[in-house]
Amino acid sequence: MEAALQSGGGWCDGLHPQRRSGIPNSDSKMSYGIYIGKNHTAEGVAYLAGYGDEPSSHWLDVVERQRHPEGASIKVGVTAHADLPGVLSEIPQARETARHIRVNYSFYKGTPAPLTNGGLNEHGVAVRDIWSPSRPELVAMTRKDQTGPNYSDLSRIVLERAKTAVEGVRLTGALIAEHGHSTYGGNSNIIADSGEAWVVIQFAGGQGLWAAERLGDDSIRASRPGYIGIIPIGDSESQDFLYSPNLVDFAVSQRWYDPASDEPFDVNKVYGDGKGKWEGVSWIEDELTSLARRPEKIAIEDVIWAVRTERLTGDTAGYGQVVPLVDAHHPELRMLWHTQIAAVAAPFVPVFMGVSEIPPEFQMHRYLTAGEAERFLDDRQSDDKVSLVPQDIEATRSASHVFKRLLNLVLRHSEVFLPEVTALWKACERKLLQTSIDVSKAARILLDAGEPALAAKYLTYFTNTELVKALDSAEELAAALDIRSRALYGINSASKPLGPEQVW
């Protein structure tokens, strides 16, 4: 593993050869992540938050800790249907994988489902996956038979195996060095725990190139796309950077960097799009920095705002996620705040690591799930024509469908409906915040008393009750807005999609 490292230091649509400018087009998706160090927050707790940009279905999943037999393997990579095609391969599975919470989704070109952008594991390691475009020459040199973990594989494996953030970085580097990396044109992750976070960039080209920058207690960092600037390549004592052993030498061999010059080694300039911070990143980092300067600093409500704000969040966001990076006495008490679709029209609800199940409404449904249009809930069909969704689950409401309907009602007339809906969800979240603190205290008492089963029942009841209450509220709110919208504005089926202006 150490050989894969040198100390001293999704854009999941990929880049076709004709898209080498790195400018996103109409079918691109990018995702969004923010990290806030604990010195900037009111509670003295760091946060990792964001969302994924995917049009396919999303569902919440709590994956149990598992033991795997010796010699077990997992399938990784992309297929010939990817924008940058590749070949699926198998790599060794860990003997034990950690319990974790993640959001899955069902489609990205040539990438086998279920897919994930990250989540939170029982050890307190959180992951976010965000697109990061590599320079055109790297995209062009990517082999059509590339192999190795894709962006989703890396996010999932870090959740399954890493016990600290830096371990997640080293694991990523080791996997790329040993098995390669199936790229879609460049990718990044933010990997965080209660003490630090790391931005990790994986570059296209099949050369095993990657770089990581440490973020600490005083950091505020947004990624969309993910970026790393100047790294001190001559400082062998630096603890703030890790990178592949060939990072500098390969750039020199391609004449992208001249070591004889006085120029510093700027990772984004040498291997990325050369743009540094994009406009939206600069805006939200400046906003959060201003909030941090207040006597009250940044509260969780401010982190939620940074994911919800209509300047950054719209229909492309498949879900919302806010992770308080706490030092939990019991792993069961770790939690993340979740919205099933874009937070601009959905409330955040706390989901505890210790829950034993997720409400069926928030599990995978057929709505927007890839391939379901050609399947039936009828076992008289051939196996490949039977739905992947159990009938009992499909018989429940789809949370994604309910919240997406509300989102569209809000976006059609956002100047009227958005302030009302935002005020409602903020009020609900304020009550949930205090209640979740009390629930965590009560569950800790049970866990300290050696009653993990009772604690799991209690945490499951609370989490599931609040998720379903949020869904009920959204359904009733959508019905009310539908009546108002029809009466005030009518329905124009020929109109174009509407919504507030976004920075990106």
As beta bridge partners, residue 105 has 58, 115
Taking only the tens place, the pLDDT of each residue in 176-216 is 999 999 999 999 999 999 999 999 999 999 999 999 999 99
State the DSSP code for 365. Answer: -
Quick one: pLDDT at residue 383? Answer: 85
**Interatomic CA distance for residues 150 and 129, integer angstroms:** 11
Is 90 exceeded by the pLDDT of residue 400? yes
Quick one: pLDDT at residue 235? Answer: 75
**Of 204, 197, 163, whose CA–CA distance to 46 is shortest?**
197
**Interatomic CA distance for residues 311 and 302, integer angstroms:** 14
Phi, psi dihedrals of residue 231, rounded to the nearest 5°:
-120, 145
Quick one: pLDDT at residue 234? Answer: 81
**Interatomic CA distance for residues 347 and 334, integer angstroms:** 19
Taking only the tens place, the pLDDT of each residue in 204-254 is 999 999 999 999 999 999 999 999 999 999 876 789 999 999 999 999 999
pLDDT confidence band for 298 (50 / 70 / 90): very high
Mean pLDDT, residues 15-30: 43
Taking only the tens place, the pLDDT of each residue in 24-36 is 443 455 899 999 9
Q: How far is CA 370 from CA 88, 364, 389, 459, in A?
A: 19, 11, 12, 32
**Of 53, 108, 119, whose CA–CA distance to 325 is shortest?**
119
Q: Is the peptide bond before 133 cis (omega within 30 degrees of 0)?
A: no
**Of 13, 25, 33, whose CA–CA distance to 313 is shortest?**
33
Pairing mode, strands 115-121 and 100-105: antiparallel
What is the H or E stretch that residue 307 is in? helix 300-308
The rounded Cα 8 to chain-centroid distance in angstroms is: 28
Whole-model pTM?
A: 0.94
Domain 2-327 sits in CATH 3.60.60: yes
Hey, what amino acid is at 494? Answer: A
Among 89-98, 150-159, 178-187, 374-383, the range scoring the smallest mean pLDDT is 374-383
Q: Identify whether the C-beta of residue 336 lies closer than 8 Å to the C-beta of residue 350.
A: yes
Other beta carbons less than 10 A from residue 92's beta carbon? 13
Quick one: pLDDT at residue 28? Answer: 55
**Interatomic CA distance for residues 114 and 91, integer angstroms:** 17
Taking only the tens place, the pLDDT of each residue in 412-465 is 999 999 999 999 999 999 999 999 999 999 999 999 999 999 999 999 999 999
Quick one: pLDDT at residue 18? Answer: 33
Among 10-14, 293-297, 355-359, 382-386, the range scoring the smallest mean pLDDT is 10-14
Phi, psi dihedrals of residue 447, rounded to the nearest 5°:
-65, -40
Is 60 exceeded by the pLDDT of residue 10? no
Quick one: pLDDT at residue 491? Answer: 94
- The b/e string for 253-283 (b: 16+ C-beta within 10 A; e otherwise) is ebeebeeeeeeebbbbbbbbbeeebbebbeb
Average model confidence (pLDDT) across the chain: 93
Under 8 Å CB-to-CB from 134, ≥6 apart: which residues? 15, 183, 185, 186, 203, 204, 205, 271, 272, 273
**Interatomic CA distance for residues 292 and 298, integer angstroms:** 5
Quick one: pLDDT at residue 236? Answer: 66
Q: Is 44 left (phi over 0), alpha (psi -120 to 50) or beta?
A: left
**Of 182, 252, 190, whose CA–CA distance to 51 is shortest?**
190
Q: How far is CA 184 from CA 173, 188, 206, 207, in A?
A: 18, 11, 11, 14
Q: Where are the domains positioned within the chain?
A: 2-327, 360-489
pLDDT confidence band for 495 (50 / 70 / 90): confident
Is 90 exceeded by the pLDDT of residue 23? no
The dihedral built from the CA positions of residue 153, 155, 161 and 166, taken in this order, carries a sign that is positive
Q: Is the peptide bond before 112 cis (omega within 30 degrees of 0)?
A: no
Other beta carbons less than 10 A from residue 299's beta carbon? 15
**Interatomic CA distance for residues 33 and 52, integer angstroms:** 9
Which residue is it, tokens 């705002």? 305
**Interatomic CA distance for residues 459 and 454, integer angstroms:** 9
